[in-house]
Amino acid sequence: MDQPIQTDYLRWIVLLPLLGAATNGLLGAQLQKRFGKGLISTIAIAPVLGSFLLSVRALFDLVALQPEQRFLIDRLYTWITTGSLNVDVAFWIDPLSAVMILVVTGIGGLIHIYSIGYMHDDNSYWRFFTFLNLFTFAMLLLVTGDNLLLVFVGWEGVGLCSYALIGFWYQDHVNTTAGNKAFIVNRVGDFGFILGIFLIFWTLDHQGHGTVSFREIQKFASLLKNQEIWGGGVATLATLFLFVGATGKSAQIPLYVWLPDAMQGPTPVSALIHAATMVTAGVYMIARLHFLYSMAPLTLEVVAVIGVATALFAATIALTQNDIKRVLAYSTISQLGYMFLGAGVAAYGAAIFHLMTHAFFKACLFLGSGSVIHAMGGEQDMGKMGGLRSAMPYTFWTFAISVLAIAGTPLTGGFFSKDEILWQAFSSAHGSPLLWSLGVVGAGLTAFYMFRQLFLVFFGNSRADHHTQEHLHESPKVMTVPLVILAIGSIAAGWIGLPEVFGGSQFAEWLEPVFGKPHEMAASEGPELLLMICSVAVAAVGFFIAYLMYYRGALAPERFSSLAGGALYRLFYNKYYVDEIYQAIFVRGTLLLARTGAWIDQHIIDFIVDGSAKTTAYISWFNGLFDNYVIDGIVNALANITFWAGGKFRKVQTGNINSYLYVILGAVVLAIIVRLRYSS
Amino acid sequence: MTDNVLSWMTFFPVAGMVVVLLLPHDRHSLIRWVSALATLPPLLLAIWLYANFDRTSSGLQFVEKAPWIPTYNIQYFIGVDGISISMVLLTALLSFLCIFASWGIDKGVKGYFALFLLLDTGMMGVFVALDFFLFYIFWEVMLLPMYFLIGIWGGPRREYAAIKFFLYTLFGSVLMLLAILALYFASEPHTFDMTQLIAQSGKYGTSALAMWPFDRWGWGFQHVVWMALFIGFAIKIPAFPFHTWLPDAHVEAPTAISVILAGVLLKMGTYGILRINYPMLPAATADLAYYFLGALGTWNIIYGALCAMAQKDLKKLVAYSSVSHMGYVMLGMASFTPQGINGAVLQMFNHGTITGMLFLLVGVIYDRAHHRDIDGFGGLAAIMPVYTGVTAVAFFASMGLPGLSGFISEVLVLLGAWQKYVILSILGASGVILIAGYLLWTIQRVYLGPVNEKYKSLPEINGRELFTLVPLGIIVIILGVYPHAILDLLRSSLDQLNQIVIPHLS
Amino acid sequence: MDLGNLESLKFFYPEIVLSGTILLLILFDLFIRNKRWLGLMAFLGCILSLVTTFQLYGMSPGWLFHHMIILDNFSLFFKVVSLLAALLVVWMSLGCREIREIHQGEYYTILLTSALGMFFMASSSNLLMAYLSLELVSITSYILTGFLPHNRRSTEAALKYLIYGGVASGTMIYGMSWIFGMTGSLDYARISEALFQGQTNHLALFMAFIFILAGFGYKIVFVPFHMWSPDVYQGAPTPITAFLSVGSNAAGTAILMRFFFPAVSRLGEGGDWLFISGVEWPHFLLMVSMVTMTLGNLCALNQQNLKRLLAYSGIAHAGYILMGLVVLNNDGLKAMLFYIVVYLIMNLGAFLVVVIVANETGKEEIGDYRGLAWRGAAIPAVCMAIFLFSLTGLPPLAGFVGKFFLFAAVIKQGFYLLAVVGIINSVISLYYYAGVVKTMFLDFPEPTDPQVTMTANTSALLGVLSTLTVLFGIYWGPLVHSLH
Amino acid sequence: MAIGLTHYLVIGAILFSLGLYSVLTRRNAISILMGVELILNSSNINYVAFSHFSSGNVEGQVYAIFVIMLAAAEAAVGLAIVLAIFQIFHTIDVEAAETLKE
Amino acid sequence: MDIATALFYLVAIITVGSAAVVAFSRNIIYSAFSLMGTFAGVAGIYVFLGADFVAAVQLLIYVGGILVLILFAVMLTHRITDVEITNRAAGRIPALLAIGIFIFLLVQTIRETSWAKAKEILYAPTTARIGDLFLENYLLPFELASLVLLAALIGAVVLSRKELRE
């Protein structure tokens, strides 16, 4: 690999949003009071747009280079140097991170703009934009950081912002609890992530190349190959550790539980963080470390299995949810599962491709749902919606397009990316027909629940109360324009990654310097087409059932829900009771441990400490007792004398000279006897 | 003055104390300002020291040496190296800030500030002393002011807390005294000079003592002395199971004293181990570090975090979080890797600033609401947004959030520990989850949620309080972004320290 | 140097000055109305005697009065200690209300006589002299203890002290008679000679020592000869308690060392003393030392009366001082001497505060010290804290340095057990000392508690003692140097 | 059997023990003092006997004379105290005179 | 058994016997008076030991001084008839036990010890030699003893002075 080209503007891509966050964070309250909300949003949006423009510049710079040299770096300073550990604060852009920064700044920018409208009535406007900017900064740090530790900073940073934004309306207990849950579950993931970093660093360090920088790791990756720890390959274990981090951040089994609750945050937050950017960090990380993952087939298998399992699992839950955002949340989890499926079959390009298209349509969906909620005065229950089509045309159309995209309707973005993944799942060296078929089932479910949502929300008659109906309105321009752009993106984004059958993917080509050549499967055009048709057909079935059930009403949903005595439905509806199980085992378990610890502290350790003090006191008391009573007591009792000492004098047994003398005589005799015994 | 800069730093507060004692006792604000003026020069000198410290040298700098009691080879010998410079900085800074945090003391003002200044000298002295005897003197000098400061100006159970602190610490320090004497007589010629004692470290035997139970454990002179010193220091750290004085002392002590206690005094334990156990008894250190520093440190992390989680009193929670955080220091020290040991000392510094902030913040709320019951608040964020913002910084720093100082040191510690003790490192890292758990839970209960009507009119944090907090906050952020501000100071000396011990590791 | 009676006189100035003062006191008592002048006279006499003592310092050792007493730096040291004790106690008495109400002429006379007795205790080199000097100190002590007229506790204490002392000294001379019988001599040097030559019966020797220890031990106050001290300390006038606690302790130590080192041991190579075989002094003293300090400290824990508490603490300190004797070498000796000086200063200081408080309140219970610091007596309270913490052995106070040397000597000889017991005792002792400090500072006074003020006289003395306590904690080089 | 040193010493020992016995058992201060006198006498017998048999000079006798003198002094002081006690307590039972206690 | 031996035993029995009365009598007056027997007996023993001067001093001071003092004290503090109260004893049995062991130990040790042997045993009058010693070798103790007596004198006066201020 050639030496990267040092630039000096990449830092601004990352730092501009931080600047915005700092300004608003420190001065926002004052500024908002004095100059109004306009200034706040300007301060917040300008840096993001600036970052976007710089990202575009970076993209062009990259394009201008030879594919092998598409590599920009901006090294600021040395962050930590201790022993063999050397960590720089450096940002780098290669084709992969270029995609990511464009997504983050582009879609993020749109969501910023959308928020102007959505958050307009909130008093903590400045605080919202502060966190949004801070989040953008952290996310950019995550995708441009040139080493694992720096990425970890972003990794935790986005977690923090996610926490802050989920609990944005902190006066409500539910929101803050959701925030806590997100943070803590993410911490569990981060725990794995950091251990992965340690393992990689030390394994390389033992070979004399301790490093956490991606390029260096890639350079020395081969050294990890034959290293073993605990009976397994280091690469496998390290990637597994890192994958734990990914499951946390990207809401995969078993750490997905926080994401549905995270919907408590403002909708733009859900769009930005919990759909488009943060949750994809895990996918990005795997793609970034693809060279390691490729060395660890076992991990890949785990990733693929977890991915597809999550995809199905979340999809089944999504079938039954009534909250508009929760459906989207589970759908996000499910779609992320697809991305991991892609990554798990070593189709990193496909995973990233899906990541990108998903960012568009899912952001669009969330923002659309936000628009709906906005219009419905905060109502999120789909059971109380319906017929919004006419009242909110922009919202409806953009939403519909996105639904088409996510359902994998041919020629939309989602179609191309999802099919790429499914195709790879079938055909890649790591793939298998089983993975593919599960993926296809998931696609069918996706189509069903997305159309269910579409129908429930926008078609039919309104089920909302009178008051809400009267206030129905389309959202302002500032909100609809981003929707439109995103909707266009949902369609268009797919066209840069056409399948081999249709002429090959530009996107894959673009990522080629990063991931290397995709598998040479060109010879099998037939199967690819066939599989594509299969999945489309399954999706169509999903659509059709939804159509029958929720549009035509020809099929009562109850018929499905009462399958297997309703148990299945209840299982789905209650999210497999996973939350309850976690609560019982982990939360309560920890609290129990905590109370036990505190109890031990107070009652056992302090008891011992106080006890030793008490023992001393007791001994001293006994000593005094001995002095006062025992000696005199022996004297008096044996002598059997009458205790009489004249009426007017207190009878006290202490300070008695005779007994003092007894002690001495006793001691002297004792000493002599002891001496006798020893000398004889 | 530059020749005696350390002496000036150490004894300036005592001079201030004398002035305070001479002032009439009802001139409260005069006494406060004099105290502030007495702690300012050490801070300025500390900054000067920071600027002029030769970061490439592993040796002692700014050394002052004079015979004191020649018959016993006792010297007035002070100086700093990489291990102590950061602690000196921390002490100077926190002492200065705590004067302002003590502004609200209105009972026995004169006595309070006089004792505080004496305490300041004691603390500074411990960190600069290079003669073992001098070290011990300073070590004990801290004890009395602390006893009174807790005992007179403390909370309702102050007497119990003060005497508990006193007895615990004294027990530890007398053990230390025995160890000091043992080392003194083991050296030839008999000396208290730490550098000499270190130079002779190879001489102290390690073969098993023919004395039960040491023979069964294979413990030699080094081990026994090591253990005596360790217990003395472990009480200060405080390491499990010697930690129970800490929650009581912290809860009862006035705010500024809690800050000093957590910010500076706890560091003395780990500092002492690094300064004394490591270089003087390297073989024993190599043998025992795993059990008594590594494993115990890890236990501290988890146990402290669990205990913190169960607390209902905000200050007690912070106190237990100290127990937990000091566990990282122990774990890092025990690793004998550059990362671990640098991380440990950095963690000492960071814990000083972060916990300092936390206690100050608890003090702010206690001054207003007159209680610290975690469940008794709620929604403070809406009432006191600035205060909450500062609190958030402190809490997240305590959580080890990247970008803030705590992260760097914790990562370094865990990274360093990984190489030696993978399992301990994993366990230690899992502590991060627990810490996040209780801190977030606390934030939620105290600051978030619906506004508690009772506290609707609490005043926002005032300028003086901010003045004590902001410098610490800035340091916390700077060190998160640029840890080399401190790491550079430590590196050479700590690497050299490692080199002393590593050859003894089997 | 072995001088006869007349030649000895010129090395006898301190005693002569002191005796002269005593006679003058008796004389002037008849004429002078304002008895305070007598106190000042006694004070001046002490100073004069002190000056003459210092002039003798550094002389080559020698015997005076036909081998009756020995003149060396050791005895001079104890003379200085006794004089200092007397001096400070006279000073203290001048500021003590209790004393102002009694016959001051006789009081100072007897006090100085007692000090003179201590001189001889420290310098006697003859069993007879030892007995005589001990009796002189004892009898004067009985008188001083019972000096308060019609005071129940004082008189009762005197009776107890007398009976106790009588039995102890009787036992002692019985033991001495055996020594005399075994060696045929009363002179220490000849006793030593005879013991090292002859085939001595170890058991008889041991028993004789035990008997003799009864006499010495009750002066030093070690277990089991300690039981009089709490009663006597509590009952005696406070300055006398102070005097007994330091003077009698020091003199007892002196006579013990005087007897054991020259009489039954020899200086071996390297500064270690060799004892007659079959006499296991180190072990015996080790036990006594440990038991003494432990018992003293444990009993002190429960005390409510401050004088009584200080009595028990005095027992504990006797135990500490004995630590220096256990090691039986010059290190230990020096440590002991140092500790005695330091103990003198800090203990007198503590009693001085008792006097100051009793002057105003007439009470000595610890409860009466409640919130002392907030009752206008911040300075005495602070000083008391200094003295008590010094007694605990906390740096940078003199008591720490003293204990430091003792522990150093003990550890150097490998008596780790003793050191550990000593250390644990220090921690225990902290508990009750800190309890007093707690009462003074951490408790707050009731409105009914009287204010406490000091006179210029007592505050000057207090200043001297507390300054010395701190000073010797920081810079004790000269003091140590003077012990060599 | 010729009268030798041992005879005198045994008499001394018996007197000593009797003195101790008085001291141990008597409650009357004067009686205790009498016990003390017995002890003193017993050691005096020892001194004089040793002076006669062991040292061959009069040192022991001198010692005995001093003991007698001091015994007188002690008795004077002791009885003065006893009288003082009697004035205050109207008894000289040592058990009664116990104001001093823990 | 020659006369001297018989006489010795007589004196010894008087001494020990009256000492026993001192120790065991329930009446303090008896005790006090038998003390005289002891003192006199001891003086007799001194005579046997050739210590004529000491014997004289013993009679003079002990019998003439101390005993009189004691008797005075007894008279001053007791009504003579008040037998039971005046000389109570406590703990006789343990005391006897302890004393028994003690006496056994003492006598055993006395018998087994090899005491120093004088070169020659003298039976010359001792007064002159003692007087010489007092003025020469034992001058200092002599002076010291006078100091003790002085102090005791003052003390006795101070202590017994009736001064009721209460």
Rounded to 5 degrees, φ, ψ at C126 are -155, 140
Contacts of A360 (CB under 8 A, 6+ apart): A107, A276, A402, A405, A413, A486, A489, A490, A493
Contact flag A639-E90 (C-beta cutoff 8 Å): yes
Closest partner CB to C139 (pick from D54, D56, D74): D74
Contact flag A655-D100 (C-beta cutoff 8 Å): yes
SS3 sequence of A272-341 = HHHHHCHHHHHHHHHHHCHHHHHHCHHHHHHHHHHHHHHHHHHHHHHHHCCEHHHHHHHHHHHHHHHHHH
Reduced to 3 states (helix: H, G, I; strand: E, B; else coil), residue C57 is coil
Place of tokens 């947004």: B385
Q: Is the pLDDT of residue C190 over 90?
A: no
Asked which of B337-346, C437-446, D82-91 is least confident by mean pLDDT, the reply is D82-91
Closest CA to C156 of B13, D86, A262, E23: D86
Closest partner CB to E154 (pick from C101, C106, C183): C106
Closest CA to B443 of B364, B379, B368: B379
Cβ pair B119, B138 in contact under 8 A? no
Q: Is the pLDDT of residue A650 over 50?
A: no
How does pLDDT run across E116-141, given as a tens digit for each residue? Answer: 777 766 667 778 888 888 888 888 88
- Give the pLDDT of residue A654: 39
- Give the pLDDT of residue E87: 58
Closest CA to C36 of C85, C96, C111, C126: C96
Cβ pair A305, A246 in contact under 8 A? no
pLDDT band at A94 (very low <50, low <70, confident <90, very high): confident
Contact of B423 with chain A, judged by CB distance below 8 Å, is answered with: no
Reduced to 3 states (helix: H, G, I; strand: E, B; else coil), residue A529 is helix
**CA of A661 vs chain D CAs: smallest distance (Å):** 6
Rounded to 5 degrees, φ, ψ at E46 are -60, -40
What angle do the packed helices A95-118 and A125-144 form, to 10 degrees? 170
- Spell out the alpha helix ranges (H) of B5-108: 5-22, 28-52, 82-101
Instruction: Give the separation between CA C242 and CA C95, rounded to whole angstroms.
Output: 14
pLDDT band at D42 (very low <50, low <70, confident <90, very high): very high
Closest partner CB to C181 (pick from D32, D46, D56): D46
- Give the pLDDT of residue A205: 84
Instruction: Give the separation between CA A136 and CA A165, rounded to whole angstroms.
Output: 12
Per the document, the length of chain E is: 166
> Taking residues B73-94, what's their average pLDDT?
89
pLDDT band at A635 (very low <50, low <70, confident <90, very high): very low
Which residue type occupies E97? L
- Chain E residues near any Cβ of chain A (below 8 Å): 88-95, 98, 101-102, 105
Per the document, the length of chain C is: 484
Q: Cα B154–B157–B162 angle (5° rounding)?
A: 65
Contact flag E19-D18 (C-beta cutoff 8 Å): yes
Instruction: Name which of C301, C308, C309, C427 to mutate to probe chain A: the one with the most chain A Cβ atoms within 10 A of its Cβ.
Output: C301
Place of tokens 């088409």: A404
Contacts of B2 (CB under 8 A, 6+ apart): none
Reduced to 3 states (helix: H, G, I; strand: E, B; else coil), residue C21 is helix
Number of domains in chain B: 1
Contacts of C461 (CB under 8 A, 6+ apart): C88, C91, C92, C95, C352
Give the domain extent around B343: 2-504
Cβ pair A286, A327 in contact under 8 A? no
Q: Is the pLDDT of residue E19 over 60?
A: yes
Q: Is the pLDDT of residue E81 over 70?
A: no
pLDDT band at B202 (very low <50, low <70, confident <90, very high): confident
pLDDT band at A637 (very low <50, low <70, confident <90, very high): very low
How does pLDDT run across A403-462, given as a tens digit for each residue? Answer: 888 888 887 888 888 888 888 888 877 778 888 888 888 888 888 888 888 888 888 777
Instruction: Give the separation between CA B311 and CA B313, rounded to whole angstroms.
Output: 6
**CA of E95 vs chain D CAs: smallest distance (Å):** 6
* Average pLDDT across chain C, whole number: 84
Instruction: Give the separation between CA A332 and CA A309, rounded to whole angstroms.
Output: 14
Q: Which structure tokens are listed for B152?
A: 């007179």
Instruction: Give the separation between CA A97 and CA A92, rounded to whole angstroms.
Output: 8
- Give the pLDDT of residue A526: 66
Closest CA to A19 of A47, A52, A40: A47
CATH, range E1-81: 1.20.120.1200
Per the document, the length of chain D is: 102
In DSSP notation, C126-158 reads BHHHHHHHHHHHHHHHHHHHT-STT-HHHHHHH
- Give the pLDDT of residue A644: 32
Contact flag D81-C132 (C-beta cutoff 8 Å): no
Give me the half-sphere count of Cα atoms (radius 13 Å) on the Cβ side of residue A534. 18
Q: Cα B316–B322–B324 angle (5° rounding)?
A: 110
**Looking at beta carbons, which residues of chain A come within 8 Å of D19?**
none
- Give the pLDDT of residue B355: 92
Q: Which structure tokens are listed for B455?
A: 């506290």
Q: Which CATH number fits domain D5-97: 3.40.50.300, 2.40.50.140, 2.170.8.10, 1.10.287.3510?
A: 1.10.287.3510
Contacts of A39 (CB under 8 A, 6+ apart): A31, A32
Reduced to 3 states (helix: H, G, I; strand: E, B; else coil), residue B296 is helix
**Looking at beta carbons, which residues of chain E come within 8 Å of A665?**
98, 102
- % of chain C at pLDDT higher than 90: 14
Place of tokens 């865990």: B414
pLDDT band at C269 (very low <50, low <70, confident <90, very high): low
* Domain edges within chain E: 1-81, 127-166
Place of tokens 């497999």: A576
Instruction: Give the separation between CA C121 and CA C115, rounded to whole angstroms.
Output: 10
Contact flag D10-E107 (C-beta cutoff 8 Å): yes
Beta-sheet pairing, A72-82 with A5-6: parallel
> Taking residues A213-229, what's their average pLDDT?
80
* Average pLDDT across chain B, whole number: 87
C/D interface, count of CB pairs below 8 Å: 128
Which residue type occupies B100? F
Q: Is the pLDDT of residue A632 over 60?
A: no
Q: Which structure tokens are listed for A148?
A: 């694992």
> Taking residues A493-511, what's their average pLDDT?
74
- % of chain B at pLDDT higher than 70: 97
Q: Which structure tokens are listed for A142?
A: 């995550």
- Give the pLDDT of residue B93: 92
Cβ pair C322, C289 in contact under 8 A? yes
- Spell out the alpha helix ranges (H) of chain D: 5-25, 29-50, 59-89
Cβ pair D19, E106 in contact under 8 A? no
Q: Is the pLDDT of residue C137 over 90?
A: yes
**Looking at beta carbons, which residues of chain E come within 8 Å of A672?**
105
Q: Check residue A474 and report its DSSP letter.
A: P
Q: Is the pLDDT of residue C40 over 80?
A: yes
In DSSP notation, B360-424 reads HHHHHHHHHHS--BGGG---HHHH-HHHHHHHHHHHHHHHT-TTSHHHHHHHHHHHHHHHH-HHH
Give me the half-sphere count of Cα atoms (radius 13 Å) on the Cβ side of residue C441. 32
pLDDT band at B92 (very low <50, low <70, confident <90, very high): very high
pLDDT band at C484 (very low <50, low <70, confident <90, very high): low
- Give the pLDDT of residue A26: 86
Place of tokens 């009787």: C170
> Taking residues B26-44, what's their average pLDDT?
89
Chains touching E (3+ CB pairs < 8 Å): A, C, D
Instruction: Give the separation between CA A293 and CA B164, rounded to whole angstroms.
Output: 55
Q: Check residue B208 and report its DSSP letter.
A: B
Residue, of B70 and A655, whose pLDDT is higher: B70
ipTM above 0.95, yes or no: no
How does pLDDT run across B444-489, given as a tens digit for each residue? Answer: 888 888 888 888 888 888 888 899 899 999 999 999 889 988 888 8
Q: Which structure tokens are listed for A203?
A: 């394994």
Cβ pair A283, A122 in contact under 8 A? no
Sign of CA dihedral C127, C132, C137, C143: positive
- Give the pLDDT of residue A353: 87
Residue, of A602 and C111, whose pLDDT is higher: C111
* Average pLDDT across chain A, whole number: 80
pLDDT band at B123 (very low <50, low <70, confident <90, very high): very high
Closest partner CB to E22 (pick from D3, D34, D56): D34
Cβ pair A350, A420 in contact under 8 A? yes
Instruction: Give the separation between CA B263 and CA B127, rounded to whole angstroms.
Output: 13
- Give the pLDDT of residue D16: 92
Closest partner CB to C128 (pick from D20, D63, D78): D63
Reduced to 3 states (helix: H, G, I; strand: E, B; else coil), residue A70 is coil
How does pLDDT run across C227-240, given as a tens digit for each residue? Answer: 788 888 888 889 99
Residue, of A219 and E80, whose pLDDT is higher: A219
> Taking residues D48-65, what's their average pLDDT?
86
